Structure 1
Amino acid sequence: MPAKASKKKKTGAVKRKASSKAVKHVYAFGKKTDGNSKMKTLLGGKGANLAEMAAIGLPVPPGFTITTEVCTHFSQTKGKYPAGLDAQVKAAVKQVEKEQGKLFGSKTDPLLFSVRSGARESMPGMMDTILNLGLNDKTVVALAKKSGNERFAWDCYRRFIQMYGDVVMGVQPRNDTEHEPFDVVMDKLKKELKIENDADLSAKNLQELVKRYKALIKQRTKKSFPQDAYDQLWGAVSAVFGSWNNERAVIYRQKYNIPSEWGTAVNVQAMVFGNMGDDCATGVAFTRDPANGEKVFYGEYLINAQGEDVVAGVRTPKPIAQLADEMPHAHKELEVVRKKLEKHFRDMQDFEFTVESNTLYMLQTRNGKRTGLAAVRIAVEMNKERLMTEKVALSKIPAESIDSLLVPIFDPKAEAASKAIAAGLPAGPGAASGHIVFSASTAEREVKAGRKVILCRVETSPEDLKGMLASEGILTSRGGVSSHAALVARQLGKVCICGASTVKIDYEKKTLIAGKTLLKEGDFISINGTSGEIFAGAIDTTDSEVKRVLEGNLKPSKSYTYRLFSTVMGWADKYRKMKVRTNADTPEMAVSAIAFGAEGIGLCRTEHMFFEGDRIDYMRQMILAGDEKERRSALKKLLPFQRKDFSGLFKAMKGLPVTIRLLDPPLHEFLPHDDTTRHQLATKLGVSRETINERMKALHEENPMLGHRGCRLGVSYPEITEMQARAIFEAAASVMKLKKPIKVSPEIMIPLVGFQAELKDQVEIVHRVAKEVMAAKKVKIAYTVGTMIEIPRAAITADEIAEVAEFFSFGTNDLTQTTLGLSRDDMGGFFDDYRNKEIFNQNPFASLDQDGVGKLVEMAAEKGRSVKKNLKLGICGEHGGDPASIKFFNSVGLNYVSCSPPRVPVARLAAAQAAL
């Protein structure tokens, strides 16, 4: 059935409507279950897993799922539903009524529903939820009578009106400074009654609150709160489908590359109540610790509460272990469920549960969001437990998450010298320091100004996502380890502390008080997401355990984290096909990259070698030279520096391949741009300032990126290419003649080639210099000469260029700029608009534009290898460290990717996942 539905979607709305009776839009779960866990594309993750839990005998309240295809139809037709959906929904409601023995909208024993979203990829908190649907002025009286608990019934009604009024009817703050309207109404009533806690409101008080809530809705929307149960249901379903395109959901999709066309399913499920009394509870639990991956039952719960109370952070819940004392039977049942879920789904699960009158119900399960450290530990330990194969374990670790094992931690001495001002629940491990900010908008503004920030909130909500993305870390004074802040922080890889109850945050005064310490917005604060400790001021950081082991400063046996890292990297190297090199310009960078597992240098930018000490003056002297003789004189002074640099690189790489790109940027980049430095240079070189100014005017270009640079410099000034080639070969000869000779195979890369003739011109110079050096030094150096493919013409004529080149390396930074006609330095003015309208699903300079730039890469690879079957292909742009791009490069058949040293582990893991 899913395949048929997919075909219908492509034929257009008119044809779909005509044949919609044949399409199944609604899938039941409960005693009658239509779906299973393999149907996530159609039912979303939540719907598919609810069906699966019901099928394996777990206590799931019955319900039904409206498919993701309906969401797509709803979006494409601007809010219309396919014909036949209404009848299918009514039939599904009748099935739930039959299983529950209650009637939807009944005035004697009403059936209530929860209405929740459920995309195929979990998006916690990003879309909308409605609970207690079906209550109205008459059914609330029936619920009170049937349950024998009047307060419980009116508490459910006020919750439903608040959720429905916010999500469906749009009663929300008018601006950033206004508080939540429903909270304002409640706070006013509590103040009148001199009550502090919501739980102290009596049934009579709640009736008054319901009256005021309905008046607020009428005032804000000019509409009355709906009393018909089916009107409520369709309003909620439409709101959930609509929330697929709300701002926070769009931002989340962009962050995690979730296609907008996937849509969300809607899950309508019979309500069970954790807020009927002290024999009721609700909670969120994980089969393992999602922060560090430890195999412990992890989670939290609240007695006499509904699920939103736990995740919203309104009350700080209790740890799940405490449930063993308060509700031993329920805790014992949950332990059985925990083991059954892991054994069945073969992954760490994040599940929600409710206990109603001492009876356990399962409301959802999903593969749990976890930190990078937890992802690695869970994969390794589940492999040992034979719950995952090596291949499956590798696939469960997001490649980016390996970074979290390498990020700095607080320097132990500096941390020990600092006194913690408070502590909370460690929800996202690591260390972070930054300026205090109290709102998402301030966080964004400060980060754009170049400052690091810590977002401090009483509790976060989905609207805070932009600020959470921008911040170094997140601190909340309320909420537990399954609150919104904790869930999203783990997903984003952010340092996070939740539920720091002794911290008092005042948004109006813009202050944070912890004990006797008063901090203001803009002050520095430091948080340790591993221990939960909070410090005033900034604390110095140091390298992680893994990095210290890699650099020889800590024994491997002293670090369990390193052993986890080593195991995963071993698996990755076992299964990947592509090599992983590094972009490095100095011996220090090269040594660091080798420690991270680099198998060579894919890009050495020689221009970076010209900026140190006196060499910049010689470079400037060469540029300002009036003729070739003067130019050669300056280049002669630069030669020893280049030779020494290359010798250092060759020694550091110990025989691994080194790709050296000849001079690439335009010459004006090496000249001073301020009058003081120009005057100093004129004095040093013995020339007038006028001479320097005239030369700079002559070098001026309207568009330097497309100007006199790369191989064009070598064509105009062949002596530059000669000097660099000589330095490379003389350095190679020197290390080959050491007491302990080092094998060297330099790969010389000519940049910015667009014509075969350009490459021929430069290759001839390199070959001539190589012969001269080998004859003089009496050595034979194995070397290759290739080119960087970074302009579209090179890709289009790659077969011609391959006749001369011995390898291609794709410079995807410039290839993206020249293909898109887009400067990465000048896209700030419109990038947000393009991203918000999903013209750009992601930054094309961070993740390869596979449909555009990728086609050129694929074309160049095919054309090049049509001339030279074994032509070596690599990529050295920033995309070489991006997992999605690496997957594409693997499919094209590249031999290697090259990235910055710290990204090497990510690239190794991503390459293995691409191969699998």
Structure 2
Amino acid sequence: MPKRIFTFRRGAADRTADAAEALGLKGANLALLASLDLPVPPGFTIATSAWREAGAKGEGLPPTLRGDIRDGIEWLEGVTGRRFDGDERPLLLAVRTSARAQMPGVAETVLDLGLNDRTVDVLAAELSDAAFAYRSYRRFIESYAGLVLGADPSDFEEIADREQEEKGWETEPGDVAGWRALIGRFHAFVEEELGSVVPQTPLEQFMDVVEASFRSWRNPVAMAHRHLHGIPESAGLAVTAHAMIFNERNAKSGTGRAFSRDLRSGISRVTGEFGLGTGAGAAIGVMPRRLDLADLANGRAGEFPADLAELTAHVRRLEAHVGDAVEVDFMVGDGELFLMQSRVARRSAGEAVRIAVELVGEGMIGEEEAILRIDPASLDELLHPTIERGPDLVVLGRGMPASPGAASGEIVFSAERAQAVSAEGRAVILVRSETTPEDIHGMHVAEGVLTIRGGTTSHAAVVARGIGKPCVTGVGSLRLNTETQTLHAGARVLKAGDRITIDGSSGEVIDGAVKLMRPALTGDFATLMEFADRARRMGVRTNAETPHEARSARAFGAEGIGLCRTEHMFFEGERIRAMREMILAPDEAGRREALAKLLPYQRSDFVELFEIMAGLPVMIRLLDPPLHEFLPKGESEIAETAAMLEIGAELVAQRVAALSEFNPMLGHRGCRLAISYPEIVEVQARAIFEAAIEAGDATGKAVVPEIMVPLVGLRKELDFVKARIDHVHRLVTAERGRSVDYLVGTMIELPRAVVRADTIAEVADFFSFGTNDLTQMVFGISRDDAANFLSTYMRQGIVERDPFTTVDVDGVGELIAIAVEKARRTKPDISLGVCGEQGGDPASIAFFEQTGLDYVSCSPFRVPIARLAAAQSAIRANRALKGRSRRQDS
């Protein structure tokens, strides 16, 4: 059987190559710290293999595991010089559960395990603090009952409140009799209401907690998180136990978190927070004094109850070991420093970019490493709006700027309400006293998060930064009344549904909705993009039809337009009227007359796009959707259209009926329209060529339009349409006395086009893979209806990801690879790209790099993501190639 128990102490640790997989994040981290000879509390980890073994048996903890646990306890007793249930210096444990990744829903930490009705008095005598010992015992009973027996923590709070009202015991912290009476009430409640007892044997306590921790892997919150992030059920969890640190005991104790860098500036400077312990008489968990580590380093170190220089040295050593900014959780128990956890510092996207660029500047890492350290999807956070400042802003309160960006929305006071209101299409701000893992689903749908308590490292702050949501925490000037569901800002009282704005960069909470603006992507972001552009091979274009989209995409670094859907230009005002007139015309002459009205609109649209792109490629897709999409729907719309066009409503209704199709996606659309009504192609081609001439004259840069023929499955279809385009080009050249270079190609979106790619490539100048329709064709499912069952497929493990979001490598991807190979065999220099939604998905971009596509095209605000993802894919591909070469040489 695999090893079940892994021990650790300062200077020595049992570790495995896959430490996080075997020991969970917490166990692996403590083992790492111990192996680096850093101060950690001694302990051991029950590995994930033990969870799998226990789950397979299905009968609680197997005897072999119980025996290993007893051995682990004996080892820890020998290391600490303490004994479980000892008459002197009893061994008390903190028990922490973790998996290979952060996992909401699994068992919470259980502290003070080992206390019972006898050892609590032994601990009180050892520490000379009965109140502290009994508060610890109270906490253990509550956490044990909650985890093992499913008790509601509020039940114990009610018992304590009643006891205080009846006897006033808590006003006298040294009143041991009062504490014993309260503990007695707790025991009675567990026995009478829960039908159980809190064991008096520490070993039994420990076995129960481990078994309950194992069960927590399958609670609904944990299962939902695993499904969302693709973590398999078999991964399992680990349980780590270590000697207790009394970090809340006195003024020489406390808890803190240190960062090796100032995350905002990226400068190498230890920062963070530390909360002093409170001493006798105060409730456990209260940390009234928060100290800033940067302030302490600037002359106030005397207020830190341990060696601040020692902590700083440990943090710097960890940064050097990891090669990145780190954050370190630590505790001080009666003046003794312990490191509890270390990780690469959690940071916002802006902070991650800043630190990566700073590390390059310091020579710690190279440009490629900086590129690889940034999650491309996280760049979306940098595109969040900021507040447009003005004199009319009413600031309701100020808190901690916990996650950057700004957002406006209606106030909601629960995660459930956030989901409900968001589902109605309304923006919400989730307002809580503080958030917990159970609020995550509400945080995901909210525009931003506001908490009354907490700091920059609170749950709300960490989660919000991770998902790219604006967040403000610790707004102590605001008061939340949960009973009346109101938020009080001085005399101002806000209720659910009222609108507020939060600024996660300044910490401000502002009354009402204010105007927001997009940030300029300069400074460190621009530097990172320069790194990426030097590293990537694939080009990055944008999908755009409007001048606003095109300008936005250029600002984000788009290298042209990879898809301009011309049908989107026909749905407004006089354009839709002319379009309907064309469709309803009785003959070709009537259609040409109506199309002549559309020509100026099309030409002006293309001129503006060509000018914005200033010589960069612009790929224009000819009319693609079936004509019925442009016609009126319903009797009132039909009557209105008939009156506008001065024709009979019955005639309009007949034409609508004649054009309706059972399956329009597979019907009279794309190149089929162009073949049936070649006059449509001719007008669009004329608009393109005339616009190219005008824009070229205006910008002084030659325009080479790329004309895409949609839905081609037969070589002869492309032959037919291209002949019409070439004919129009000759006419325009003769009329204007000027010739325009241009390319004609097709969108590969049909399986037949894939298998005949070599033949179609004989006439095509380019292929653009339309992965949206290709995915529909390959799977035989509609992306508009697939949500009804794809979520079930992902939940059941039938598919790992939505194939309309990330390319299906084994099916759709295989067809793309076949088409690429066939096309390049015929025409080695043919341009190959992708313009479907997957063009902005990092995982898909990695596949497109492997397949050898020349560019991807995506929505404007995903262009920076695609630029970075393309760079990462190129770097990894080059490293893999070098690795293969080295292996071959050896």
What is the 5 A alignment of 1:484-563?
A: 484-546=459-521, 562-563=522-523
Contact 1:620 1:671 in 2 (8 A): yes
Q: Which residue of 2 aligns with 1:593?
A: 553
Asked if residue 352 in structure 1 is aligned to residue 329 in structure 2, the reply is: yes
Q: Which amino acid aligns with 1:532?
A: G
Structure 1 position 260, deviation (Å): 5.1
Contact 1:526 1:536 in 2 (8 A): yes
Q: Which residue of 1 aligns with 2:590?
A: 630
Asked if residue 445 in structure 1 is aligned to residue 388 in structure 2, the reply is: no
State how far apart, in whole Å, the 2-side matches of 1:202 and 1:82 are.
43
Asked if residue 232 in structure 1 is aligned to residue 210 in structure 2, the reply is: no
Aligned with 1:168: secondary structure? helix
Asked if residue 112 in structure 1 is aligned to residue 92 in structure 2, the reply is: yes
Structure 1 position 540, deviation (Å): 1.5
Q: Which stretch of structure 1 is more off in the superposition, 441-450 or 242-251? A: 242-251
Q: Which residue of 2 aligns with 1:269?
A: 242
Asked if residue 163 in structure 1 is aligned to residue 125 in structure 2, the reply is: no
Q: Which amino acid aligns with 1:274?
A: N
Q: Which stretch of structure 1 is more off in the superposition, 579-588 or 670-679? A: 670-679
Q: Which stretch of structure 1 is more off in the superposition, 710-719 or 67-76? A: 67-76
Q: Which stretch of structure 1 is more off in the superposition, 245-254 or 446-455? A: 245-254
State how far apart, in whole Å, the 2-side matches of 1:80 and 1:708 are.
63
Structure 1 position 217, deviation (Å): 4.0
Structure 1 residues 705 and 121, CA, compared in 2 at 3 Å: closer, same or farther?
A: same
Structure 1 residues 834 and 566, CA, compared in 2 at 3 Å: closer, same or farther?
A: same
Q: Which amino acid aligns with 1:224?
A: V
Q: Which residue of 1 aligns with 2:396?
A: 421
Aligned with 1:369: secondary structure? coil
Q: Which amino acid aligns with 2:729?
A: A
Q: Which residue of 2 aligns with 1:141?
A: 121
Q: Which amino acid aligns with 2:850?
A: S
Structure 1 position 861, deviation (Å): 3.0
C-alpha deviations, 1:106-159, integer Å up to 9, x for none? 343322222223333445786633222233333333333333322222222222
Q: Which residue of 1 aligns with 2:44?
A: 64
Structure 1 position 804, deviation (Å): 4.0
Q: Which residue of 1 aligns with 2:612?
A: 652
Q: Which stretch of structure 1 is more off in the superposition, 784-793 or 497-506? A: 784-793
What is the 5 A alignment of 1:758-769?
A: 758-769=717-728
State how far apart, in whole Å, the 2-side matches of 1:283 and 1:460 are.
20
C-alpha deviations, 1:519-561, integer Å up to 9, x for none? 1111112212222121222222123243xxxxxxxxxxxxxxx
Contact 1:107 1:139 in 2 (8 A): yes
- Which one of 556, 559, 563 corresponds to residue 603 of structure 1? 563
State how far apart, in whole Å, the 1-side matches of 2:167 and 2:753 are.
77
Unaligned residue ranges in structure 1 (runs of 5+): 1-19, 173-178, 547-561
Contact 1:37 1:48 in 2 (8 A): no
- Which one of 745, 761, 779 corresponds to residue 786 of structure 1? 745
State how far apart, in whole Å, the 2-side matches of 1:601 and 1:128 are.
51
- Which one of 54, 63, 67 corresponds to residue 34 of structure 2? 54
What is the 5 A alignment of 1:28-39?
A: 28-30=7-9, 31-35=11-15, 39=19
Aligned with 1:412: secondary structure? coil
What is the 5 A alignment of 1:665-676?
A: 665-676=625-636
Asked if residue 340 in structure 1 is aligned to residue 317 in structure 2, the reply is: yes
- Which one of 370, 375, 386 corresponds to residue 363 of structure 2? 386
Contact 2:713 2:752 in 1 (8 A): yes
Q: Which residue of 1 aligns with 2:835?
A: 876
State how far apart, in whole Å, the 2-side matches of 1:696 and 1:75 are.
62
Asked if residue 754 in structure 1 is aligned to residue 713 in structure 2, the reply is: yes
What is the 5 A alignment of 1:194-233?
A: 204-218=177-191, 221-233=194-206
TM, length-normalised to structure 2: 0.90
State how far apart, in whole Å, the 1-side matches of 2:753 and 2:174 are.
74
Aligned length: 868
Q: Which stretch of structure 1 is more off in the superposition, 474-483 or 585-594? A: 585-594
What is the 5 A alignment of 1:453-852?
A: 453-546=428-521, 562-736=522-696, 738=697, 741-830=700-789, 833-834=792-793, 836-837=795-796, 839=798, 841-852=800-811
Structure 1 residues 810 and 319, CA, compared in 2 at 3 Å: closer, same or farther?
A: same
Structure 1 position 580, deviation (Å): 0.6
State how far apart, in whole Å, the 2-side matches of 1:671 and 1:310 are.
71
C-alpha deviations, 1:670-725, integer Å up to 9, x for none? 12225444333212222111111111111222333333222222232222222222
TM, length-normalised to structure 1: 0.88
Q: Which residue of 1 aligns with 2:4?
A: 25
Contact 2:710 2:747 in 1 (8 A): yes
C-alpha deviations, 1:488-536, integer Å up to 9, x for none? 1111111111122222212221111122111111111221222212122
Aligned with 1:660: secondary structure? strand
Q: Which residue of 1 aligns with 2:879?
A: none
Asked if residue 98 in structure 1 is aligned to residue 78 in structure 2, the reply is: yes
Structure 1 position 664, deviation (Å): 1.4
State how far apart, in whole Å, the 1-side matches of 2:857 and 2:767 are.
13
Structure 1 residues 601 and 733, CA, compared in 2 at 3 Å: closer, same or farther?
A: same
Aligned with 2:711: secondary structure? coil
C-alpha deviations, 1:643-684, integer Å up to 9, x for none? 222222222212111111111122122122254443332122
State how far apart, in whole Å, the 1-side matches of 2:721 and 2:124 are.
88
State how far apart, in whole Å, the 2-side matches of 1:196 and 1:640 are.
84
Q: Which residue of 1 aligns with 2:384?
A: 407
Contact 2:95 2:242 in 1 (8 A): yes
Q: Which stretch of structure 1 is more off in the superposition, 675-684 or 563-572? A: 675-684
Aligned with 1:814: secondary structure? helix
Asked if residue 372 in structure 1 is aligned to residue 331 in structure 2, the reply is: no
C-alpha deviations, 1:166-196, integer Å up to 9, x for none? 2333224xxxxxx844444444445556699
Q: Which amino acid aligns with 2:344?
A: N
Contact 1:316 1:479 in 2 (8 A): no
Structure 1 residues 100 and 739, CA, compared in 2 at 3 Å: closer, same or farther?
A: closer
Superposition RMSD in Å: 3.2
State how far apart, in whole Å, the 2-side matches of 1:275 and 1:650 are.
67
State how far apart, in whole Å, the 1-side matches of 2:353 and 2:774 are.
35
Q: Which stretch of structure 1 is more off in the superposition, 525-534 or 65-74? A: 65-74
Aligned with 1:873: secondary structure? strand
Contact 2:93 2:242 in 1 (8 A): yes
State how far apart, in whole Å, the 1-side matches of 2:195 and 2:440 are.
31
Unaligned residue ranges in structure 2 (runs of 5+): 876-890
Contact 1:872 1:895 in 2 (8 A): yes
Structure 1 residues 215 and 346, CA, compared in 2 at 3 Å: closer, same or farther?
A: farther
Structure 1 residues 851 and 540, CA, compared in 2 at 3 Å: closer, same or farther?
A: same
State how far apart, in whole Å, the 2-side matches of 1:708 and 1:804 are.
23
